[in-house]
Amino acid sequence: MATITEGYLDHKIFGIVSETAAELGVRAFVIGGYVRDCFLGRANDDIDIVVEGRGIELAEAVGAKVRSKVSVFRNFGTAMLRYQGIEVEFVGARKESYHRESRNPIVEDGSLEEDQLRRDFTINAMAFSLQKEDFGALVDPFGGIRDLAAGIIRTPCDPEVTFSDDPLRMLRAVRFAAKLSTPEHTFDIVPEAMAAMRRMAPRMEILSKERIAEELNKTLLCDTPSRGFRLMDEGGLLPYVLPELQALKGVETMDGKGHKENFSHTLQVLDNVAAVDGGKLWLRWAALLHDIGKPRSKRFVPGQGWTFHGHNVIGAKMVPGIFKSLKMTQGDEMKYVQKLVDLHLRPIALVDEEVTDSAVRRLLFDAGNDIDDLMTLCNADITSKNPVKVARIRANFELVKRKMAEVEQKDEIRNFKNPIDGAYVMDLFGIPPCQEIGILKEAVKNAILDGEIGNNFAEADALMRRKAAEIGLHPVK
C-alpha cells in the first residue's frame, strides 16, 4: 500500500484520533470528501472518520482529549466535534441495508471495505489509514484514485443498488459531475450509472423536498451549473425535481417556423450569470426561472410567428408555487427571485425603445436595490447567435446603464422614499386616515418618476397642495 506523504494528514487532529483509536483498540480511517479533495487540491474543512468499532465512543474520547463538545446523534450512530476550525464527524463502519420506502438505514456493523462498498461513488469511498503502522496509507479497493484521474463518476457496487439505497445519490452524481469538472478535466457519469438513473428516477419520489432543494442549490452554485441540469435531464430526473423546467424543453414548428429552444437558452443564461456573479444563489435561481412562464404563454400568430406575451408576469406568478413545492422559503429570497423574473424584460425593452429619463426612473423605482442584479440577468439573457444583433443590443444596453447612472445621481430613485408622508398630509388638512392621502402621495410619486418635479420636499409639497385643492382639500393651518 502506498503511504501518502504530501501533508494531507498534517493537521494535529489526525495524530490525536490515531493515538486515541490505538488506546481504544479500534481502527480508524479518514474517508469520503476530505480524501477526494486532497487529491483534487481543493480545500475541505469537513473531515469524516470511519471506525471499525463504535464511532461514538472514539468521538467522545477524542473530544475529552481536545476539550471539545461532542454532539451525538444516536439514531444515526454518528458523533461530531469541532476542533481548530474544522468539523470532524465520526461513524462506525457499517454494512447498510435500507428500508425501501425511507432513507433511514437499518444499520449493521461492518468492516471498512463493507462500508466503502455501500458509499455513493468510488471517488468518495477512498480512505486514509490512521493506524500507527501505516499512517496515511490510501485504502482504495474500488479504484477511486483511478476514476478521479480519469474523471469518472462510478458507484462502488451495482448502480441500481447504490441508487436504490439512497435515491438522492442520483442528484449527487449529477452535482459532482458539475462541481468537479473544470475546463481541463471533465467528470462524466459512467453509462451504466446513467442507465440505472433512468430506470430508478421514479425512486426520487421518496426523497424529502428539503434534501432535493439542498442538492439543487449546490448544483446551482457550481461554476458551470448547466452541466448538472443537462445531466438531470439525461438521467430522467427533471420531472421529479423541477417539472416546470422540463416543460421548457423542445421546439414546436408551425408553418415552417420554430421557436427558441427554451431549456438550452435558460441553461445558457444560467451559465452566463454564474460566470460573473461571484456565487449569488438567488440570482442563479432567477436565471433558472426567468423564462419559466414561456410554455404557458406560448401562442402561434399566423403571419407573425411564435409569441410569449406576458411570460414574465406568468413566470413571476409561478415562482411562489415552485418554491413551495420544494419546501423553500416564501420570504425575501423568493420575492427577490419573483421580482427579477417579473422585470427581466424591462431593460431590454428600454433598449428597443427610446431611452427616456422617465422610463429609466420607473425601472430604477421598480427594481430598487436589485437593479444591478437585474442588469446582470438581462445582460446574460442576450444569447442570440447573430453577432450584429448582439453588438447592437449591447451598445444600447450600455446607453441604458449610463442613463441609469445619470438619473440616479440626479434623483436618487433607487431607494425612493416619498418626500411627502401621510402624517404630514393629515396634519396639514386636518383629515383622518383616508384614501385621499394615498391619492396625493401617488400623484407626487408619479410626478417625480415622470420628471415633472424634482425629488425634493419643496417641489413635492407644492404639487401636493395643488392636487389637494383640485379634490377640495385646503390647509387648516
Binding residues for ligand CTP, rule: CB under 6 A, are: 32-33, 46, 48, 119-120, 124-125, 166, 168-169, 172
Min dist CB 288 to ligand CTP, Å, is: 20
- By beta-carbon proximity to ligand CTP, the closer residue of 89 and 233 is 89
Q: With respect to ligand CTP, which residue has the nearer C-beta, 127 or 316?
A: 127
**445/431 Cα distance (integer angstroms):** 21
Q: Is the dihedral of CA 369, 375, 380, 383 positive or negative?
A: positive
Residue 306 phi/psi, 5-degree rounding, is -80, 140
Spatial distance between the Cα atoms of 265 and 248, rounded to a whole number of angstroms: 9
CA-nearest of 443, 257, 290, 436 to 373 is 290
Beta carbon nearer to ligand CTP, 153 or 443: 153
For residue 119, the minimal CB distance to ligand CTP (Å) is: 4
Q: Which helix (H) or strand (E) holds 407?
A: helix 387-411
Q: Given the complex with ligand CTP, which of 98 and 424 has the nearer CB atom?
A: 98
- 221 versus 431: smaller Cβ distance to ligand CTP: 221
The nearer residue to ligand CTP, 78 or 262, going by C-beta atoms, is 78
Of 426, 431, 462, 471, which is closest to residue 444 (Cα–Cα)?
462
- Taking the CA atoms of 277, 308, 388 and 402 in sequence, report the sign of the dihedral they define: negative
Cβ neighbors of 325 (< 8 A, separation 6 or more) are: 209
Q: How far is the CB of 18 from ligand CTP (least distance, A)?
A: 20
Helix 422-429 and helix 457-470, axial crossing angle in degrees, nearest 10: 50
CB of 167 to ligand CTP, least distance (A): 9
Alpha carbons 81 and 63: distance in angstroms, whole number: 7
219/272 with CB nearer ligand CTP? 219
Residue pair 139/155 in contact (Cβ under 8 Å)? The answer is no
| Nearer CB in complex with ligand CTP: 71/369 | 71
Q: What is the CA radius of gyration of the chain?
A: 29
Output the smallest distance, CB 218 to ligand CTP, in A: 7
Give 324-383 as a DSSP string.
HHTT---SHHHHHHHHHHHHTTHHHHHHHS---HHHHHHHHHHHGGGHHHHHHHHHHT--
* Cβ 165 to ligand CTP shortest distance, Å: 8
User: Could you give the CA distance from residue 57 to residue 356 in angstroms, rounded to a whole number?
Assistant: 71
The Cα angle at residue 421 between residues 420 and 426, in degrees rounded to 5: 110
Residue 125 vs 345, nearer CB to ligand CTP:
125
- Minimum Å gap between C-beta 173 and ligand CTP is 10
**How many angstroms separate the CA atoms of 476 and 430, rounded?**
6
CB of 94 to ligand CTP, least distance (A): 11
In the complex with ligand CTP, the residue whose CB is nearer, 115 or 244, is 115
CB crowding 316-351: b at 16 or more within 10 Å, else e: bbbbeebbeebebeeeeebbbbbbbbbbbbbbbebb
φ, ψ (nearest 5 deg) of residue 151: 70, 50
Q: Which is nearer to ligand CTP, 163 or 397 (CB)?
A: 163
